[in-house]
Amino acid sequence: MIHSVYRAPGEQTRFDLKPEEIGAALQQPGGLLWVDLAGESAEDSRSLLRETFGFHPLAVDDALEESHVPKVDDWGEYLYLVLHAVVFDLKADEPLHTHELDLFLGKNYLVTYRTEPIPAVDRTWAACQRDERHLQKGVGRLLYKVIDELVADYMPAVEAMDEAIDGIEDEVFGQPGPTLLASIFTLKRALLHLRRIIAPQREVLNKLARGDFGVLDEGDRVFFRDVYDHLVRLYDISEGLRDLVGGALDTYLSVVSNRMNEVMRTLTVITILFLPVSFLVGFFGTNFFQPVASLTAWTDRPAFVLMLLAMVVVPAGMFLWIRKRAWM
Amino acid sequence: MIHSVYRAPGEQTRFDLKPEEIGAALQQPGGLLWVDLAGESAEDSRSLLRETFGFHPLAVDDALEESHVPKVDDWGEYLYLVLHAVVFDLKADEPLHTHELDLFLGKNYLVTYRTEPIPAVDRTWAACQRDERHLQKGVGRLLYKVIDELVADYMPAVEAMDEAIDGIEDEVFGQPGPTLLASIFTLKRALLHLRRIIAPQREVLNKLARGDFGVLDEGDRVFFRDVYDHLVRLYDISEGLRDLVGGALDTYLSVVSNRMNEVMRTLTVITILFLPVSFLVGFFGTNFFQPVASLTAWTDRPAFVLMLLAMVVVPAGMFLWIRKRAWM
Amino acid sequence: MIHSVYRAPGEQTRFDLKPEEIGAALQQPGGLLWVDLAGESAEDSRSLLRETFGFHPLAVDDALEESHVPKVDDWGEYLYLVLHAVVFDLKADEPLHTHELDLFLGKNYLVTYRTEPIPAVDRTWAACQRDERHLQKGVGRLLYKVIDELVADYMPAVEAMDEAIDGIEDEVFGQPGPTLLASIFTLKRALLHLRRIIAPQREVLNKLARGDFGVLDEGDRVFFRDVYDHLVRLYDISEGLRDLVGGALDTYLSVVSNRMNEVMRTLTVITILFLPVSFLVGFFGTNFFQPVASLTAWTDRPAFVLMLLAMVVVPAGMFLWIRKRAWM
Amino acid sequence: MIHSVYRAPGEQTRFDLKPEEIGAALQQPGGLLWVDLAGESAEDSRSLLRETFGFHPLAVDDALEESHVPKVDDWGEYLYLVLHAVVFDLKADEPLHTHELDLFLGKNYLVTYRTEPIPAVDRTWAACQRDERHLQKGVGRLLYKVIDELVADYMPAVEAMDEAIDGIEDEVFGQPGPTLLASIFTLKRALLHLRRIIAPQREVLNKLARGDFGVLDEGDRVFFRDVYDHLVRLYDISEGLRDLVGGALDTYLSVVSNRMNEVMRTLTVITILFLPVSFLVGFFGTNFFQPVASLTAWTDRPAFVLMLLAMVVVPAGMFLWIRKRAWM
Amino acid sequence: MIHSVYRAPGEQTRFDLKPEEIGAALQQPGGLLWVDLAGESAEDSRSLLRETFGFHPLAVDDALEESHVPKVDDWGEYLYLVLHAVVFDLKADEPLHTHELDLFLGKNYLVTYRTEPIPAVDRTWAACQRDERHLQKGVGRLLYKVIDELVADYMPAVEAMDEAIDGIEDEVFGQPGPTLLASIFTLKRALLHLRRIIAPQREVLNKLARGDFGVLDEGDRVFFRDVYDHLVRLYDISEGLRDLVGGALDTYLSVVSNRMNEVMRTLTVITILFLPVSFLVGFFGTNFFQPVASLTAWTDRPAFVLMLLAMVVVPAGMFLWIRKRAWM
């Protein structure tokens, strides 16, 4: 669907302009036009972007054809931006997804293009419908509004991951198992993904905040710096979370190794205590001491007492030796 | 609570000014005003910061709304700084916490804002009450005083961690266990946290020491360089501690693996020594040598002596073979 | 084989020029000559490159003699480029191979040299045969076309690896074994190789996009920037895949260690349950209780009941103790 | 103790000047004064440094109060340097220690301050007593002499570590044990420490060699570059040693894991060979074949031969199966 | 031995000049003098370098006294270079050694100094004897020739390591053992060493290729760039090999861990199958079922059949349970 909103200077805001009206609006320097292409077919979008707006074919291909890392390209008359909205669902197999948002920004217009739903854009649209002032402050402030909403959606995702790691840390000293391991690795992957999309977006905002581009007003720089600070902080937090997840994995492996150690110690102790005495009773179970051989002295009372004694003394000695080796 | 102290040139120091007095004081270029907002409600703080001081909404939002990484923003007329005080308690589950301190610094005023108690600020305040000279040297020196106190609180935390690592290193070759493991990981996390707050604060101080900002006097730069050196050293020490903790973990795991090795060797030796002879006595415990079969020669004296011999020779041979394999 | 195509301004495109025609064509500034040396002998190539084109001996040696990392050398009159085409076959022992493509680029000519088949060059050649316009836009656009095709072949390789990693991740929690391990390491190696050839090619394209070279038109820079963005993205994806493969290996090792743990626990439990009672029955199997010694009370009914009881109570007690130690 | 040596131009060298003489000497531009404060109390030092020399309070505090990372501060009239002498004793628990040396360097004086003995300074002092020429070449050359001696003491420490690592590498494939492990970790820690003090000192020398400071003569730069090269090389060697120690630890762990593997294989082989036949003899030791049941055919000669056969065939079959699994 | 070769402009090449002839030759700007000091004593070399050539004492000390990392120092009139020749023998305990080559390069002379044999220098010397043209192209080209030969010797070493790694990778999935482990670590150490000498030499060549030095002709830069490219490639390959060796070690450890896992599984399965039935036969081997107690029903035929049945059912049940736990 193609949505559009246009505010000419001194006139009332108009919605859903016809294609020829869009062309006319572009000619008027003082107004502000926002065209939002949401899930529109590639051909329709291409013709609009190429013919009505006159964007460079390479820029249009970038927008329509494939997914990109976040970036900003300066085409002189306009900027082309790629940003990513984040979709997070801890329950899912792959908890973190991103939806690409392509933006074209001219002196008096903003074009947003997306193939998947991005609530941040919808929220900004709704805000513009409710309150015209969002359109009065110029295209830079409108862009800021869109990006600010986009970035605001990152925090709940980061917080959910933080909580998940807290849960893992509590569990890891308790009952470590394959499920816990799987969720550690899922979180690790999600954090890698998150960092990989935050880092280039931070760079994009840094460029906007430095005022590298002629299309944007000098005065709007502080707003982009504000979002840039947000992204710096998000990156910082996600770095911290990555370290925590790494630590949780190390803890997990250490706890498992510890527990294995304890298990093996027990096995060894039991074996050391019982194998010698089992041999002893096996010895006295041989048939040498039966009618055939006249070795009856070996199976008389004193021998029995001796064996009973050995069955106490041998394990006790073994146990003391184990204690000296400091296993238990 | 809103505390304020004001020293006009040539006048006596006044405490706890009324709002309108604050406005008047700001107009006087030669004085020095310090307003400390400690645990004040967000609305009251906002109105004061926005209306009386006239700070930019984005800066005020940064200060009031959420926690930030340490940074310094130059707003021309004033600086906005975020710093972190450290709270350390080795006994706690998460030994290291930080409390955020927001500062606004103009030519003739300093505003400190905090929602949690920060002793370093209180100490500076008390020093200003005791001794007016702290206010006479200008706003740069007052800022230095606050930051210096703040940074001074890091050293005890670092020293406590250093001692804790020493203790761990002593214990690790003795009796390694899950408690030790848990404290290694707790320390590791705390150190990660520490480095993450020291590094950006070092950058802030570096900027102050380089004299990037018009608000500050050239002559105060050496003081900020001094704090900067402190932070460089703190970062360096915390790096060293991080390596030590990492080494302690490696040692722990190696010692555990070593011990496991020893345990398994013992299990194996005992099993190798006793399983064959247990089989032997089992063999002579079968019923073939009883009345039914006339195999009495197998259970007569010579056979008994042979079995006794085998029960000495077999384990001894096994033992020599083990020795040759160099396990013990 | 030496292929050549030449388009003089305003004339018809000619194919497979004679050597003297090539020399003549080079003198004409407005035309565009493309010579493709595919699997040609080193001597023939050398004489053509040295004598007809007059390239520097070091550059010609670079092209003919040995394989190189991707690079671009500016020889003033012409550029010398080394690029790599990728050949990927997941089934092979070493799934990723690269074929080197050497290019010489002058104001009015392009020379491509390769000893192994490179489909991307063949496709561009075929496109030039079909459609003369590829030759009309100048040498920069022709170079762009070749590189674009070359880089386009990377994506299927990267996607195949991505799928392979997905498959590994599914398998790793199921039935981990040496085959899975081998394919993890094969993928890891392939990704290392991939990153090592993408990174310098990205740098080459970056230089082309920055317009460092006099041979290329300013206007072609956006096209090279487009390929550069492709390579940035490919590098980014391959970085992500590398992390995923590393994570898969960690997962594998953790799962194996987990499983080992479970196996050892079972061994230990079984041993703990059966060794004591085995000793017990061994005890009552000794010959003390037979005719020789008059210990008949030990083998009468009450003793039997006691032994049966012990054989229930001892393992049950052991089991409870194990439960308390939280292994199961 | 405060030592001092002073050489006025054209006069004889004087030792141990009185405080007022020091003040006078400082006023004379052409001479060279060296004051060495070794283990002097903080108050006496402070008064000398503050009042006689007039150093900045912050610089004096740095020198007197706490230990620092190596650095150089340019205070305009003079430089303040922090360097570290190394003390190495492989036998000690913590083999590497450093003693801090603080230096103040003016146009015509050098002040050295240390609380612990530093032989390198003593050696330079003795050289100055023996040979006046060390004082004639100016303050830059004197500083060079001190630093050169200081750095010369690093090499024996580095060589001792190198030898220790060689010894470890020989031992690690022989008889790895906890003592070896402990010395690996001790060396690792010492190398971390060494790198942490060499790196900033290298930076200090780099600054001196670049000639950033007005206090030093241009012509002395080559001497500082020489020491800088020494430190570069020391850093390089210590990096190499760090890799070797890391490799030794990996080797240790791999050898231990290998050995454990061998031990477990042996345990398993013995168990596999003996458990089945032990069961067999146990079977024939049951009381079913005794007078009560008339199962005498089971215990007659043919059955005996069968059992003997099984006791050969079963372990042999097990052994062949083990061989097929390629464990031994 | 001191070798020398001298070619004055327009004269015949002379060999082995007398010391005074060397001095005279240095005065003549148009000629080219090469002095090669191979295994010459330090004193003789020092006097020649200090007095005849007049090099700075620090540079001469660097050349004579101790080994250095590769570097280039610009002494204005001349350059001082340190390079390393590589000696590789895979069979040796430490396969990679380097021999240091010190070079002094003036406008019209080259001095090479080495204490160990370096074939690359000998080859260049022989080439100069065979063909005077090597001396006619100036000192820059002679230096290039020496360095080119030096660097050419690196490739066989790198290729031998490559093959060794290939061999290891084949072996690692077959029969991993301590010998394989030792050769992995030997290769790892050799590669670390290789990278550490290639990296600074690359930097030296980079400086030569950038034309930072007045002693060298602008026109010779392309030759040094060619060697620089060689070194870049060598570094790149050695980086790749390092990754492969790291991967081989990981593979080794994973394979060993896998195999251990299999061994333990077998041990556990055998134990689980035989321990319960061994207990069973032990139970029926007690003396309760003999004449003393009248428990004959327990040892009659039905009981025997029941025991036989249990001896089939219990292991079968155990086996099914193991299968369900998916170990085999």
The CA distance from C195 to the nearest CA of chain A, in Å, is: 16
CB contact under 8 A, D240 and E73: no
User: Cα dist. C136→C12, C22, C29, E111 in Å?
Assistant: 11, 18, 14, 56
Closest CA to D178 of A326, E269, A323, B152: A326
End-to-end CA gap in chain C: 72
Q: Two tokens at E71?
A: 């570097």
Determine whether the interchain pair D274/B272 forms a contact, defined as Cβ–Cβ distance below 8 Å. no
User: Which pLDDT value is given to residue D320?
Assistant: 81
Contact A243 B192 (CB under 8 A): yes
* Amino acid D288: pLDDT: 65
Tell me if residue B285 falls in helix, strand or coil.
Answer: coil
Q: Which of B258, C111, A316, E317 is nearest to D263 (CA)?
A: B258
How many Å apart are CA D7 and CA D14, to the nearest integer?
A: 6
pLDDT at residue D286 is higher than 80? no
Place of tokens 């090279």: C224
A287, B284 contact by CB (below 8 A): yes
Q: Is pLDDT of C297 > 70?
A: no
- Chain B residue numbers with beta carbons less than 8 Å from the beta carbon of D98 are none
The lowest-confidence range among A22-26, B177-181, C247-251, D204-208 is B177-181
The reply to whether residue B240 touches residue D285, judged by beta carbons under 8 angstroms, is no
Average pLDDT on C268-296 reads 75
Is residue E268 within 8 Å of C271, Cβ to Cβ?
A: no
Q: What is the pLDDT of residue C328?
A: 45
C-beta atoms surrounding C267 within 10 Å:
22
Q: Are C81 and C68 in contact (CB under 8 A)?
A: no
Q: Which residues of A touch B294 (CB under 8 A)?
A: none
Beta bridge partners of D6: D14, D33
Residues of chain D with Cβ-Cβ distance to B279 below 8 Å are 274, 277-278, 281
Sign of CA dihedral C143, C148, C149, C150: positive
Tens digit of each residue's pLDDT (9 = 90 or more) over D232-282: 989 988 988 988 898 888 888 888 888 888 888 888 888 888 888 888 788
The tokens describing C150, both together, are 């070359």
The chain-wide mean pLDDT, for chain D, equals 85
Residue among C272, C288, C327 whose CB faces A299 most closely: C288
Higher per-residue confidence, D19 vs C148: C148
More confident residue, C311 or C185: C185
Residues of B in contact with A245 (CB under 8 A): none
Query: What is the C-alpha separation between D71 and D208, in angstroms, rounded?
Result: 11
B79 in helix, strand or coil?
A: strand
Predicted confidence band of residue E290 (pLDDT cuts 50, 70, 90): low
Residue numbers in C near E236 (CB within 8 A): 69, 196
Asked if residue A46 lies in contact with residue A102, where contact means CB atoms within 8 angstroms, the answer is no
User: Does D257 touch chain E if contact means CB atoms closer than 8 Å?
Assistant: yes
Q: Is the ipTM of this complex over 0.95?
A: no
Task: Give E95 to chain D, closest Cα distance, Å.
Answer: 15
- Give me the total of CB pairs closer than 8 Å, taking one residue from chain D and one from chain E: 128
Query: Span D172-201, mean pLDDT?
Result: 86
Chain D nearest-CA distance from E17, in A, is 32
Place of tokens 């074009």: A111
Residue given tokens 């006791």 in the structure block: D311
Residues contacting B2, CB < 8 A, separation 6+: B35, B36, B37, B40, B44, B48
Return the higher-pLDDT residue of E277 and C102.
C102
| Phi and psi at residue A123, to the nearest 5° | -60, -40
pLDDT of residue E169: 84
Longest CA span, chain A: 126
With contact defined as 3+ CB pairs under 8 Å, the chains touching D are B, E
pLDDT lower than 50: segments of chain A: 328
CA separation for the pair C49, C57 (Å, rounded) = 9
- 3-state SS, residue B270: helix
- pLDDT score of D261: 82
- Among A229, A257, A288, the residue with its CB nearest the CB of B299 is A288
For an interface test with A, which of C283, C299, C319 has the most A Cβ atoms less than 10 Å from its Cβ?
A: C283
CA distance E60 to chain C (A): 35
Would an 8 Å CB–CB cutoff place C300 in contact with chain A?
no
E263 vs D contacts (CB less than 8 Å): 261, 264-265, 268, 327
Maximum pairwise Cα distance, chain B? 126
- How close C297 gets to chain E, by Cα (Å)? 9
Residue E146 has pLDDT above 90, yes or no: yes
Listed by number, the residues of chain D in 152-181 with a beta carbon closer than 8 Å to a beta carbon of chain E are 173
Concatenating the DSSP letter of every residue in E100-123 gives: EEEEEE-SSEEEEEESS--HHHHH
pLDDT of C296 over the 70 cut: no
Per-residue 3-state assignment (H helix, E strand, C coil) for chain D: CEEEEEECCCCCCEECCCHHHHHHHHHCCCCEEEEEEECCCHHHHHHHHHHHCCCCHHHHHHHHHCCCCCEEEECCCCEEEEEEEEEECCCCCCCEEEEEEEEEECCCEEEEEECCCCHHHHHHHHHHHHCCHHHHCCHHHHHHHHHHHHHHCHHHHHHHHHHHHHHHHHHHCCCCCHHHHHHHHHHHHHHHHHHHHHHHHHHHHHHHHHCCCCCCCHHHHHHHHHHHHHHHHHHHHHHHHHHHHHHHHHHHHHHHHHHHHHHHHHHHHHHHHHHHHHHHHHHCCCHHHCCCCCCHHHHCHHHHHHHHHHHHHHHHHHHHHHHHCCCC
* Shortest distance, CA A200 to any CA of chain C (angstroms): 11
Distance CA(A116)–CA(A123), nearest Å, equals: 15
Q: Which helix (H) or strand (E) holds B114?
A: strand B109-114
CB neighbour list of residue D225: distance below 8 Å, 6 or more residues apart: D209, E73
Q: How far is B53 from chain D (nearest CA, A)?
A: 34
> Per-residue pLDDT for D328 more than 50?
no
Contact yes or no for C292 and A304 at CB 8 A: no
Residue D212: closest CA among D200, D224, D201: D224
Residue E68 in contact with residue E58, Cβ under 8 Å? no
Beta strands in chain C (DSSP E): 2-7, 14-15, 32-38, 71-74, 79-88, 96-105, 109-114
User: Cα separation of A314 and A316, whole Å?
Assistant: 5
B chain contacts of residue A223, beta-carbon cutoff 8 Å: 58
> Span E196-218, mean pLDDT?
89
Task: Return the residue in D64, D266, D284, D300 with the most chain B beta carbons within 10 A, the one to mutate for interface testing.
Answer: D266
List chain B pLDDT tens, one digit each, 328 residues: 788 999 887 788 888 888 788 888 888 888 899 999 998 888 888 989 998 899 998 889 888 876 678 899 888 889 999 999 999 888 887 888 889 999 999 999 999 999 988 999 999 999 988 888 888 888 999 999 999 999 999 989 999 999 999 888 888 877 777 788 888 888 998 998 898 889 999 999 999 998 878 888 888 888 999 899 889 989 988 988 988 898 888 888 888 888 888 888 888 888 888 888 888 888 877 776 665 555 666 666 777 777 778 778 877 887 787 777 655 4
Chains in contact with E, where contact means 3 or more Cβ–Cβ distances below 8 Å, are C, D
Which residues are CB-neighbours of C284 under 8 A, at least 6 positions away?
Answer: C298, C299, C307, E286, E287, E288
CA gap E67, E84 in Å, rounded: 10
B126 φ, ψ (degrees, to nearest 5)? -60, -40
Residue D110's pLDDT is 94
Which chains are within 8 Å of C by 3+ CB pairs?
A: A, E
Q: Do the Cβ atoms of B261 and D259 come within 8 Å?
A: yes
Q: Is the pTM of this model over 0.90?
A: no
Chain B residues close to D196, C-beta within 8 Å: 236, 239-240
**DSSP assignment of C124-152, as one string?**
HHHHHHH-THHHHT-HHHHHHHHHHHHHH
CA torsion, ordered E264, E269, E274, E276, to nearest 10 deg: 110
Both tokens of D133, joined, read: 């020429």
Cross-chain residue pair E261–C266, CB shorter than 8 Å: no
A325 or C109: which leads in pLDDT: C109
Nearest CA in chain B to D69: B233
Within an 8 Å CB–CB cutoff, is residue D315 touching chain E? no
Bridge partners (DSSP) of residue B7 are B32
What pLDDT, on a 0 to 100 scale, did the predictor assign at position B328? 45
User: C160 to chain A, minimum CA–CA distance in Å?
Assistant: 17
E24: contact with D, CB 8 A cutoff: no
Question: For residues C109 and C143, is the Cβ–Cβ distance under 8 A?
Answer: no
- Mutate which: A71, A80, A192, A242, vs C, most C CBs within 10 A: A192
Window 92-111 of C, Cβ < 8 Å to A:
none
Contacts of E178 in chain D (CB under 8 A): 173, 255, 258
The per-residue DSSP string of E55-76 comes to --HHHHHHHHHS---SEEEE-S
Residue A5 host element (H or E): strand A2-7
Instruction: Give D86→chain E minimum CA distance, Å.
Output: 21
Closest alpha carbon within chain D to E297: D292
